[in-house]
Amino acid sequence: MAEAAKIASSLLPTGHQRINQLEMVGIVKRFPGVLAADKIDFNVKAGEIHALLGENGAGKSTLMKMLYGLYHPDEGQIRINGVKTIIRSPQDAIQRGIGMIHQHFMLVPSLTVAENIALGMKSSRGLRLDLDVVSRRVLELSEIYNLKVDPGLPIWQLAVGEQQRVEILRALYKGAALLILDEPTAVLTPQEVDGLFRILKQLADDGHGLVFISHKLHEVLEISHRVTVLRDGRRVNSIPTSEATRPKLAEMMVGRPVLLEYEKNPPDPREQRLALEGVSALSNRGTVGLDGVSLSLRGGEIVGVAGVSGNGQQELAQCISGLRQVTAGSVEVDGIDVTNAHPSKLHAIGLSYIPEERMIDGVIKEFSVAENYVLQDHAHPKFTTARIFMLFHKIREACRQAIDAFEIKTPSTETLVKSLSGGNIQKLVLARELSRDPGVLIAAQPTRGVDIGATEYIHQRLLQERDKGTAILLISEDLDEIRALSDRIAVMYEGQIVGEVENKDVDIEQLGLLMTGGG
């Protein structure tokens, strides 16, 4: 069948009706203390990939959850093919042909693919499950769309990319004509991203409408036909992607021009500060977490550790910072053996750690900014009398200086940390860790969930530290970040370092291959 004829027909390959045009008009949504959507207009057409771009907290997910019936707009209307529609619940949205793939996958790990798809649907056998019928239809659909999955496998046995395919299949199964994907690439390897993009293009060619939510500029430029930028709950602009450029989009997102590439001084590596020799450790589940990792780090360099989430990066950071038992091998800082040393000893010899789970391991949410600032140094002579009685005026004073120096946006030093944004909390953690002038800095996912503005700042700060001579281990799942900052890159796969390369000699494809063990 000719392409043109396929687009013109009002049916999708799944046999469901198309949604030719979906509009959101003047949408307002308030949460306590936050205006998450402020008179937003948005529309998407059949056959189109419409990117929704914005910083964390800009209101992208909120806007789309209103289309999917999870939230309800306070004002404004939604029109499907020109008809005003009220979407009361996800069930309602599904019936009208709207499907959503959430940022955190909405799958039940212990259930099979078929069970996950059958969930919430009518069975052809009344009260009895009809998993065989579901499985057959799933196989049909996976044929049409080239989405290979085994309907009988439980979700927990699938790789992340496969789980995402299940999500997409499920939406198609339920008749989605319009598909919303909320940051679908966040958890994927570069190869998986390519695969996803092929699927998305095919879906659009077949007449589906797609909303692609992202905060990554290059992805938006690569995949979308149109792009709408949100900032602080407001729509900044909607433009055809052909008229967009990276700097232009970044400026729309942040509200001011942003540095996307950093000026880096040539590396000036000095003496060795951190050395790992054959370090092994167990994971939380008791399986092998780290498997004989050797790594060395010199002052004045940033070594990036790349890898797909869950390949030992977390265990690596914890082993170095004394938070996980090393079962074999040794860790040395400045020539001193610190294998399984207590974190307080590590602090004392100048190791700082920016933990991955900043809300759990990095700060105490219910404490104030000042209290969090002195978490480690609360007994330091400069903040106490006789190491017992805390001198709060001194603590506040030091904290105020840090707030200025690190441009932390907080009403006061006494504000509770839980009311700050992710970016500002991370700046606070960074300020605390750098205040001790560390010789070695372990930074685990330092900008995950942090807005572009703060990310830019944190990156600049890390580069400054490097130039001052600090040895920095940067553990990140964000390849762009690794590429932008590292001098050397170590790639982790299944608890091992499977490759170590100079940043300037490597391209993203090679890294992607190493990350999936194919190096």
Ligand X SMILES: Nc1ncnc2c1ncn2[C@@H]1O[C@H](COP(=O)(O)OP(=O)(O)O)[C@@H](O)[C@H]1O
Q: Which residues of the chain form contacts with another protein (CB under 8 A)?
A: 68, 70-72, 89-91, 94, 100, 102, 104-111, 115-116, 118-120, 122-123, 127-129, 154, 156
Distance (Å, rounded) from C-alpha 411 to C-alpha 404? 12
Binding residue for ligand X (CB under 6 A) from 42, 48, 57, 107?
57
Shortest distance in whole angstroms from residue 293 CB to ligand X: 34
Rank residues 88 and 256 by Cβ distance to another protein and give the closer one. Answer: 88
In the complex, minimum distance from the CB of residue 448 to ligand X, in angstroms, rounded to a whole number: 13
Residue 235 · residue 228 · CB < 8 Å = yes
What's at 479, amino acid-wise?
Answer: L
Tokens for 240, please give them.
Answer: 């055809």
Q: Considering only residues 429 through 458, tell me which ones interact with ligand X, judged by CB under 6 A.
A: none
The residue from 9, 10, 11, 31 that contacts ligand X (CB under 6 A) is 31
What DSSP designation does 267 have? Answer: P
Chosen from Mg ion, ligand X, another protein, none, partner binding at 54 (C-beta under 5 to 8 Å by type): ligand X
In the complex with ligand X, the residue whose CB is nearer, 31 or 156, is 31
DSSP 27-81: EEEEETTEEEEEEEEEEEETT-EEEEEE-TTSSHHHHHHHHTTSS--SEEEEEET
Stretch that binds Mg ion, among 1-9, 61-69, 166-174, 487-495 (CB under 5 A): 61-69
State yes or no: residue 56 binds ligand X (CB under 6 A). Answer: yes
Does the footprint of ligand X cover residue 69 (CB under 6 A)? no
Q: CA nearest 354: which of 467, 434, 439, 276?
A: 434
Figure out which of the listed residues 62, 135, 445, 516 binds ligand X, where binding follows CB under 6 A.
62
* Rg from Cα positions in the chain: 25
By CB under 5 A, the count of residues binding Mg ion is 1
Nearer to ligand X, 33 or 335 (CB): 33
Which tokens belong to 311? 């390949």
Nearest residue to 252 via CA among 88, 408, 452, 509: 452
Three-state secondary structure call for residue 384: strand
Give the one residue of 9, 10, 11, 34 binding ligand X; rule: CB under 6 A.
34
- 151 vs 99, 129, 160, 167, CA distance in Å? 20, 14, 16, 12
Q: Which stretch binds Mg ion (CB under 5 A): 9-17, 57-65, 359-367, 474-482?
A: 57-65
214 near Mg ion, judged by CB under 5 A = no
Q: 297 or 408, CB closer to ligand X?
A: 408
CB of 68 to another protein, least distance (A): 8
| Nearer CB in complex with Mg ion: 61/447 | 61
Question: What single DSSP character describes residue 359?
Answer: I
Torsion of CA 58, 62, 67, 68, to 10 degrees: 140
With respect to ligand X, which residue has the nearer C-beta, 31 or 262?
A: 31
CB 247 within 8 A of CB 71: no
Burial label, 438 (beta-carbon count in 10 A; 0-12, 13-18, 19+): buried
Q: How far is the CB of 37 from ligand X (least distance, A)?
A: 8
Closest CA to 113 of 83, 79, 156, 49: 156
Burial of 16 (0-12, 13-18, 19+ CB in 10 A): middle
* Minimum CB–partner distance for residue 179 and Mg ion (Å): 16
**Is there binding between residue 289 and ligand X (CB under 6 A)?**
no
Q: How far is the CB of 475 from Mg ion (least distance, A)?
A: 23
Select the binding partner of residue 118 from Mg ion, ligand X, another protein, none (C-beta < 5 to 8 A, by kind): another protein
440-455 b/e with 16+ CB inside 10 Å = b? bbbbbbbbbbbbbbbb
Q: How far apart are CA 429 and CA 15, in angstroms?
A: 53
**DSSP-derived pairing of the beta strands 328-333 and 384-385:** unpaired
Q: Which does 104 bind (CB under 5 to 8 A by kind): Mg ion, ligand X, another protein, none?
A: another protein
Span from 52-60, 141-149, 323-331, 337-345 in contact with ligand X (CB under 6 A):
52-60
237: closest CA among 217, 255, 259, 219? 255
Stretch that binds ligand X, among 30-38, 220-228, 364-372, 489-497 (CB under 6 A): 30-38
Tell me whether residue 101 or residue 497 sits nearer to another protein (CB atom): 101
- Residue 61 in contact with Mg ion, rule: CB under 5 A: yes
34 binds, among Mg ion, another protein, ligand X, none (CB under 5 to 8 A by kind): ligand X
When the beta carbons of 66 and 333 are compared against ligand X, the nearer one is: 66
Considering only residues 36, 94, 101, 305, which one is a binding residue for ligand X as defined by CB under 6 A? 36
Residue ranges that bind ligand X, judged by CB under 6 A: 31, 34, 36, 54, 56-62
Residue ranges that bind Mg ion, judged by CB under 5 A: 61
